[in-house]
Every structure is written in C-alpha cells, then in structure tokens.
Amino acid sequence: MHDWQVDGVLFDLDGTLVDTAPDLAAALNATLLQHHQTELHYDVIRPFVSNGANALITLGFGDGLSTEEHEEIKAYLISHYQQNIANESKLFDGLDEALQHLEKHQIPWGIVTNKPDYLTRPLLKALELTNRASSIVCGDQVSHPKPHPESIYLACKQMNIRPNNAIYIGDAERDIRAGRLAGLKTIACAFGYITDTDNINDWQADKQVSHPSELLKSLQLFT
C-alpha cells in the first residue's frame, strides 16, 4: 500500500464507520414485541442490520406478510429507530483516531451510504460527525445506489478528488463492488456486519482488515 496516492478516503456508514447495530436491533425487537412476537438475540440480528429495514422485517417476521402488513410494521420500526437513533450507536473503536489522523494530514474524508438521508443526517449530527465529513452521500440522493458507482462518483466530485486517488472502505460486497467500479482502491472490513454466507475473499478488495484498529495502521502507511 505504500505506493498508493491517496487524496481522499470514503467510508460506508453502518458496519464500517459507525456501529449502529445495537440501536437497529433494539428497533427490530421493539417492533416484534409490539406485534406479539418473540425477540431475537442480538447476534442473530447484527449481520443483517446494514441491509435495511425490509431485510430486518423479513428476518423477524418472515416473508409471508401482505404488503399492507409489511408497510405497517416498517413504519413502526423506522419510527422507533428515528426516536432512538444514537442511544448506543458510536464510532467503532479506533475509528475516531483514524479520522483524526486523516484530518491531521489534511486528507478529506467522506461517507457514502445506502441509508436514506433522513436517517443518516440525525445520526451523524448526534455523533458530531456532520461538520467533519467533507462529503455525505446517501442512497436516496442518487438514481442508482450501491453497488452502482454513482454515489461514489458524486462524493469524489464533492470532495474534488479523482477516484483513482481515493479509497473506499466498506463491510459489504456492494461496497467493494461500487468502489472497484468507480476506480478506487478498496478496503473490506471483516469486523462489520458480515453474514455466514458472505465470503469476503470473493469481493476482490485490495485489502482486508479484521479489526477496526487495523484501519488506522493501513491509513498511516500512505500518509
């Protein structure tokens, strides 16, 4: 990695930069209880939380719901999550040091997420990250969210950096695919929300990190 020219770094949000699983799992379990269903263990929910509300509902309620039932359940889940969006969510251990390292070396960083804007902004505000990020691109701000590269191109444009001089860091195959399609170097986070069926080696990331602290070490190599 020593020969990487890096003018900017982009992060996925859920499962890469911020550990949002506790609050998302709490929202699902509150929704299950509201509908007289049994709560799920946190370890069961965690791998699925970055796949969005629909995936969480399928996990908790199965796929036999009518459209009307699904929408009612989804509205409750999202409402609960909005009201408790940063109760326990926080930067992964070591990630603030990584951000501070980039800021110290005047390397801009941004966030590219498929999470909608109305959930992303309140979370980042609560964590006091909004003004630190040079770009925040959400899934509903583009026509084609990840794995399409459109949102990454937009972030690079906002940060005035060339994609081939940037890095995208994520914990899902769609992240790495989007980063590679956009021409960025990619780092896959095995500490994120990985399901049993995910084979991180198949994603063809330029680098893998198994613990958040390894990200800082990786970033130190090219600054």
Within a domain: 3? no
Within a domain: 74? yes
**Pairing state of beta strands 8-11 and 109-112?**
parallel
Residue 19 pLDDT = 98
Same domain as 47, residue 135: no
User: Which among 37, 67, 83 is the end of a domain?
Assistant: 83
Beta strands per DSSP E along 118-211: 135-137, 166-170, 185-189, 207-209
Predicted TM-score (pTM) of this structure: 0.96
Domain enclosing residue 31, as ranges: 21-83
Within a domain: 1? no
Look up residue 190 and give its two tokens: 């095995």
Residue 1 pLDDT = 46
Burial class (CB in 10 A: 0-12, 13-18, 19+), 95: buried
Q: Which residues pair with 189 in a beta bridge?
A: 209
Number of domains making up the chain: 2
Residue 2 pLDDT = 53
The catalytic site residues sit at 12, 14
**Nearest one of 175, 158, 156, 157 to 115, comparing CA atoms:** 175
Q: ∠172-177-180 over CA atoms, to 5°? A: 130
Q: What CATH number did the domain enclosing 190 receive?
A: 3.40.50.1000
Sequence-distant (6+) residues with CB within 8 A of 120 are 13, 111, 113, 136, 138
Task: Provide block-wise average pLDDT over 10 residues at a time, the chain (223 residues).
Answer: 80 98 98 98 96 96 96 98 98 96 96 97 98 98 98 98 97 98 97 95 96 89 73
180 close to 152: Cβ distance less than 8 angstroms: no
Same domain as 97, residue 78: no
Within a domain: 2? no
Tell me: the pLDDT tens digits for 104-140? 999 999 999 999 999 999 999 999 999 999 999 999 9
Q: How far is the C-alpha of 31 from the C-alpha of 141, rounded, in Å?
A: 28
Same domain as 98, residue 201: yes
